[in-house]
Amino acid sequence: MTYVIGKNCVDVMDRACVEECPVDCIYEGGRALYIHPDECVDCGACEPVCPVEAIYYEDDLPADEHGHLADNAAFFFDTLPGREAPLGSPGGAAKLGPVAADAPLVAAMVRQDQP
């Protein structure tokens, strides 16, 4: 099981969640952050600090956000645009740094930070 970052993070990227994660499993993409489903230890520390309530335990995802469960995983296990291989399990977001790409569902979303 894992926590999942959903649509409210897209184009917001507050990053308060990153500071709370004890295992550094919240990774930065181009338009959103993504929780690594295998590295997350389900501690729940990230969920209450997000100012836009973007984070859910996977069983609690609203129906219209179920796609983000697979999309968070796709960020790590699909080959993202502009990269030659999947990220896999980097074992820590800080050492990897921001990735200038997004998983398919987020990449297809209409920008929320422009009029």
Distance, CA of 51 to CA of 70 (rounded, Å)? 23
Q: Is 75 in the site for ligand F3S (CB under 6 A)?
A: no
109 binds ligand F3S (CB under 6 A): no
Provide the strand spans (E) within the chain: 3-5, 26-28, 33-35, 55-57
- Closest CA relative to residue 3, chosen from 49, 34, 27, 28: 34
According to the binding rule CB under 6 A, does residue 4 interact with ligand F3S?
A: no
Q: Is 24 in the site for ligand F3S (CB under 6 A)?
A: no
Residues 31-50 that bind ligand F3S (CB under 6 A): 33, 35, 40-46, 50
Q: Map tokens 């649509």 to a residue.
A: 7
Q: Which residues bind ligand F3S (CB under 6 A)?
A: 3, 5, 9, 12-17, 20-21, 23, 25-26, 33, 35, 40-46, 50, 52, 54-55
